[in-house]
Amino acid sequence: MEKLSQKTYSAILSDVLDHITDEAVHEMMKPGEGVAGGKNPSGGAPVDTGNLRGSIVSYKG
């Protein structure tokens, strides 16, 4: 098997890393599922609806 030169190895590694980065960005841009129905533009991130604040109660004991 022929040994790769350092320049060739660096070029291959750079191409592979570019491909991985592109795939990761593509995956991160997909709409989310489950949280807030996955319909919000932030990709399914939690949404401030005020429900948590409204659900906090206190009792005098």
pLDDT digits (tens, 9 = 90+) for 14-60: 999 999 999 988 887 776 554 444 454 555 566 677 788 788 887 78
Please report whether residue 20 resides in a domain: yes
Q: Is the dihedral of CA 21, 22, 27, 31 positive or negative?
A: positive
pLDDT at 10 over 90: no
Please report whether residue 21 resides in a domain: yes
Please report whether residue 35 resides in a domain: no
Please report whether residue 49 resides in a domain: no
Please report whether residue 16 resides in a domain: yes
Please report whether residue 14 resides in a domain: yes
Q: Which domain holds residue 3?
A: 1-28
Please report whether residue 13 resides in a domain: yes
Q: How many structural domains is the chain composed of? A: 1
Please report whether residue 46 resides in a domain: no
